[in-house]
Structure 1
């Protein structure tokens, strides 16, 4: 009896340690997955020329990708919360592999849409399950773990301008075929992750038996207080997503118009904004582990406000510096909001990851349409000025319960 108890205790202590090997692998897979996803918008100028697609058709391609990958994320998260399926990760990336292959050889618009749906589905499977793996490997450093995981994805997205310049411009549509190799590497790594995931589930099952027998772990209903806090977190994520979406989709056009930049120069500004955002994502988690999640969420949005408001009115050199600073500060709360939501509703790791990351990107896609309409009707300059005030909504963070209160709710 004592031997069994010691074995359970040993395995439980192992689970409390941060497994950096797994975190770095899942972070790399996130980079590979999101770099593949970034191929689609990067291909728009090429598809416009090779197939004569309209802006509406290009918009529908982007909408199809984002809606499938975002709406399906919480659904898949809910399903795997009830019944974990470790090998969903390599299966999802295999769907992405077929999608990329189809994109490279698609003869017409219809086949591009079908290929994009495969990529979107693969992404929808990967994100909540990848976040769950990061949570399982985190030990006591959940903020750091999510930062390592999320920085991979943000770095992958930031690669879009480089992918366009180095691969897609010289090779055209067929250049997408190179990313089947990227997808294959990700599938191989995720098979390794799936075996680790399976082993960890078995450890958790053994460790949880005494708690189940004592009745310590019963399903709790989500209280009104938790629902209120969760809805507020999602609203803050949406506000951040709309600002990021506005800048990534339209600031390059604004820079061309205001500073008479070439396309390459404007892409450099965008690349700097995205890379600094990826760095901010990495540092935000460890800061939240030390100073608290609510504080980092609040500061990341409020400290962005003066920068985001002033960016449209300053010379190009100062704008570049402000873009780097605002990207770093604002995105420092990206992984933190994911962990905050997961701790609000423990036991629903995949669902919360799907909601905070998946629906955030979905709202970003809708935001692109709304902001595009505002730019068409009220002018691009006015739209860029307007979105600069979105981080002000970060004041609502003051209404969130402190980290200590969230911990007490879960006891």
Structure 2
């Protein structure tokens, strides 16, 4: 039977939409990692729906910065690192920028990569619990991390941006479905949820949690990732509308996932949070209350969150370093490949052996605290450069960008304070 005109029209629209989605989905995949899932879970379990507004606020700040990064990439056909390199002529200042990027993005992502693979392993453990060869042993405390790291390696070593992009889009959709279904199954209190979204309050003891919720979403390496991947996907300023459409679909979806995780924990465990130390505890504890489906969906979401971040963290590091050092941002270039391979290898080692690289993570927190406001300032300067022509920032965009810069200074101060004291 021939397909109807309406069916062809719908398929055509869906196909065009799919082709225009990409870099924004990578950014969403990057910031919805195990760290975000754990932070949102604990926020919901400890403070109910009260901190949902912080996630909404961080979503708006992310949209402002990522739009600038995407516009910079599409118009200049260069990543953020390349733009910083061209703006900084002083070799000492350039060396300082390189050092911060190396410390915060490359070293930091190497440390956090272990958490990404561990989070993915915790989610996958629900399905592999009857496979003895993946159980912890005397040598490896987490053999699953090697398997998942191997999957990430095979995808990245393919050298095809399009393959990596499509896989990440599928994982983001799976993650979205898993967390949203779990959220619905836990039967949220809609009135309390709407109040938490619209009425900013900070319960006693929740100040650091508010900053953590914002800090897991507004991160510097996503700016490098977005600018470079937008320049790869779209080749001329006339395509900015497509880049923005991608941005305004994908990143709010990422914010919705974070909110769904927080609301799930609030629905199930607010007032009874003593036994909840992370997302894995939440996944297992949902079973007696809401059945196998809730546990299955939460485990799937945690696995997808871990593996998406395990793919994007090495990519972001390679894009950032290639831009600063001046070698091609090409998945097939030896230096680019060497960068993501090192990040992935460090993460696999940390996760499979159960290591706790506390000093490395503290070092990365300090570097991130310094890097975020510096990168925000460079981004604002870059999107006001005359070479962008009619695509420079408007007055309102500069005002909003300046507000986010102040926020980044506050987040940076918090990171430094928490790491040093």
The normalised TM-score by structure 1 is 0.27
Task: Name whichever structure is richer in helix by fraction.
Answer: 1
Structure with the greater relative contact order (CA < 8 A, sep ≥ 6): 1 or 2?
A: 2
